[in-house]
Structure 1
Amino acid sequence: MLTDADRGKAARSKGSRPSPQARKSAKSTGAGSKGRQWRRLWIPDQIGGWAMALMPGLAGLLIGGPTWRNLLLMVAWAFCYCFEFTGSRWMVSHRAARFAPPALGYALLTAVTGLILLVGTPGLLRWAPLYLVLGVLNFAAAWMRTERSWWNDTVAVIAACTLCLIAVSLGSRFQKPGPGLESANSGFFGCQPNPAVDCFASGFLPSAALPSVGVISAAVFAVTQFGSVIFVKTMIRERGKTWCYLLSLAWNLALCLIGVAMVRTAGWWPLLTALVLLVRAALLPAIARQRRIPILYVGLVECATSLLVFILVIAQAGVMTTALTGLLGA
């Protein structure tokens, strides 16, 4: 017969065994934890960063007209952004082992898509020196753990906005040979249908690789994105600092003045967009002085304003190009 002590031990032993439902729940919890860990390691989690990285290139694709070249360019750029994000984190950690697989995986994907693109469009090598310098600066900032510095944010803006120009130049609107180039390098498929851009038939940096609508569109993205950089600084790292707040106001006010100058030739939309950016730059940092606004909300605001600029650029790229070139006397 069992004594009371034996019965207690048996009860405790029975109670210590998890039920099948508990074991199943533990397994699902573990799987969910692994899934979240995988996402944290492999998927960039900055909503505003995705918008600022991809929207200029997507706008260039739509303005220039979709082709397999600029479509593949965007795929390669998306992989490149993921490589930059994961690679920077690997560098910040000074090569911690757990950050290596995502960085190496995205490096491989970027290299494969990039090489395919270069085989069909060797003229893209004209942009290699610029992006090589930008890449070195970016990873140097990560290694020095200054990846949130002003100069590294400027590097990111230049990289993303230049892609708008490149995507426009590869678009279907510009896929026709220039004067005297109809038969240039016709033996290599990568040089057609635009030898001036897709190869080097007109020199290293011909005018065909710098279409005015692409230059202006990239410039619009650049000035608005740098304004976003200043705004985000006022909300997070420079929160409460008057000089940064005034710089943000001055930058966005300058955009409004440019919009005013463009009203006669480009209509009201550029000015209205600039006013929205100015109101954001004026009100939200003032609110943040009283109570902290979560970073997620700041990212969502930047997504919304990036989308607004994106719509403006693709809807009025030609009109703004005419207006701005007229203002500049070009």
Structure 2
Amino acid sequence: MPTQDTRTATPTRAHRTRSARDWVSTEPGAWAIVLFPSLAAWVASGPTWTSTWLVALWALCYCVQFTAARLCKSHMRARYALPTLVYAAALAAAGVPFVILHPGILIWAPLYVVLCALSLLSSWLRRERSLWANLCAVLAASTMAIVIVPFGSKYAATSASATDHFPTHFPNAHDAAMFTGLGIEIAAGFALALFGSVLFVKTMIRERGSRVYLHASWTYHALLVAVGYLDDWAYMVLALLLLARAVALPLIARRRKVPAKVVGITETIASLLMLILIPVGA
């Protein structure tokens, strides 16, 4: 029979666990989607203190986003307000000096304001698992590759004027330095691959049994193989591996239940393959 001490200890531990989850995203797949395009761009362009600072700021942006999303989903419950405010304050403290030093980066502000607004709207409507909400997340994460690359050691000298000053008009020769071929290719590679992951996961969990989603996923991944074949061997290898898992696991799921944990592990491996092969292809 439980004693008074064990009866009081259990709720305390539960409260601590709940409190920790209010501050930290417990979805490894989300962290991979958010950070891997940035990390790939950071490595491929040559790490610098500035690009490292920017990657850290992007991680803080995600902390603000997922806590704010919970706040919106709960329709402004006080429980989620403190983590949102603390992360927002930390982002402001670390981000304002960066903007002062590199105000040209504000050219990206309109895009990210729109994507953030759509993300929070999906949470308010409790549609954060919808296809359009997932697409917003993929676009936001993938585009960061374009943002980060000009701050790398391979491009910093040529892009200084674009990142350190407000552009007077757009586009011009200085602004073009912000749109490097490497950044665009990494961003496009991740956007295409990650959207395939969105379709695949839906065929395994929320849209399991849907022939429409299954055929859409298979068709999309087959097109990725064709694109990879036309572009680079690394992309083709990645696309073939992604196609194999998009076909095999749903077929296995028809005969036996595939736990969500297995899907998560599969996607972790797929994300690591993206992190390795997309920069190689770029």
Q: TM-score, normalised by structure 1?
A: 0.79
Which one-letter code corresponds to 1:220 in the other structure? G
* Offset, 1:203: 4.0
Please give the per-residue CA displacement for 1:228-258, whole angstroms capped at 9, x wherever unaligned: 1111111111111001001000111011112
Tell me the residue number matched to 2:261: 296
Question: Which of 186, 211, 215 does residue 217 from structure 1 map onto?
Answer: 186
Question: Which of 132, 143, 161 does residue 195 from structure 1 map onto?
Answer: 161
The SS at the match of 2:208 is: coil
Q: What pairs with 1:79-118 in structure 2 (closer than 5 Å)?
A: 79-118=60-99
Tell me the residue number matched to 2:133: 152
Question: Which of 120, 123, 138 does residue 104 from structure 2 map onto?
Answer: 123
How many aligned positions are there?
Answer: 279
| Alpha-carbon separation, structure 2, partners of 1:91 and 1:245 | 31
CA, structure 1 residues 69+17, in 2 after alignment: closer, same or farther (shift >3 Å)?
Answer: closer
Instruction: Note if contact 2:199-2:213 (Cα within 8 Å) is conserved in structure 1.
Output: yes
| Alpha-carbon separation, structure 2, partners of 1:220 and 1:89 | 29
| Alpha-carbon separation, structure 1, partners of 2:200 and 2:215 | 10
Question: Which of 44, 53, 67 does residue 48 from structure 2 map onto?
Answer: 67
| Alpha-carbon separation, structure 1, partners of 2:118 and 2:112 | 10
| Alpha-carbon separation, structure 1, partners of 2:120 and 2:185 | 29
| Alpha-carbon separation, structure 1, partners of 2:2 and 2:228 | 71
Question: Which of 258, 261, 275 does residue 230 from structure 2 map onto?
Answer: 261
| Alpha-carbon separation, structure 2, partners of 1:66 and 1:198 | 18
* Offset, 1:202: 6.8
Tell me the residue number matched to 1:226: 195
Tell me the residue number matched to 1:239: 208
Please give the per-residue CA displacement for 1:21-73, whole angstroms capped at 9, x wherever unaligned: xx4x6776565434322222111011111101100011111111112222111
* Offset, 1:84: 1.2
The SS at the match of 1:176 is: helix
Which one-letter code corresponds to 2:195 in the other structure? F
- Kindly name which structure, 1 or 2, has the bigger radius of gyration based on alpha carbons: 1
Structure 1 unaligned blocks of 5 or more: 1-14, 179-193, 318-330
Instruction: Note if contact 2:38-2:144 (Cα within 8 Å) is conserved in structure 1.
Output: yes
Does the alignment pair 1:172 with 2:153? yes
Instruction: Note if contact 1:239-1:289 (Cα within 8 Å) is conserved in structure 2.
Output: no
Instruction: Note if contact 1:59-1:164 (Cα within 8 Å) is conserved in structure 2.
Output: yes
| Alpha-carbon separation, structure 2, partners of 1:261 and 1:221 | 17
| Alpha-carbon separation, structure 1, partners of 2:279 and 2:151 | 16
| Alpha-carbon separation, structure 2, partners of 1:123 and 1:245 | 43
* Offset, 1:96: 1.1
| Alpha-carbon separation, structure 2, partners of 1:211 and 1:241 | 40
Please give the per-residue CA displacement for 1:277-310, whole angstroms capped at 9, x wherever unaligned: 0011001122223333232322221111011011
Does the alignment pair 1:78 with 2:43? no
CA, structure 1 residues 82+198, in 2 after alignment: closer, same or farther (shift >3 Å)?
Answer: same
| Alpha-carbon separation, structure 1, partners of 2:58 and 2:224 | 28
The SS at the match of 2:139 is: helix
| Pairwise CA RMSD | 2.1
Please give the per-residue CA displacement for 1:83-125, whole angstroms capped at 9, x wherever unaligned: 2111111111101111211122222222222212111211110
The SS at the match of 1:148 is: coil
Which one-letter code corresponds to 2:166 in the other structure? F
| Alpha-carbon separation, structure 2, partners of 1:198 and 1:313 | 29
Which one-letter code corresponds to 1:54 in the other structure? L
CA, structure 1 residues 261+143, in 2 after alignment: closer, same or farther (shift >3 Å)?
Answer: same
CA, structure 1 residues 198+64, in 2 after alignment: closer, same or farther (shift >3 Å)?
Answer: farther
Tell me the residue number matched to 1:311: 276
| Alpha-carbon separation, structure 2, partners of 1:101 and 1:16 | 34
Instruction: Note if contact 1:234-1:245 (Cα within 8 Å) is conserved in structure 2.
Output: yes
Quick one: percent identity of the two aligned structures?
A: 39
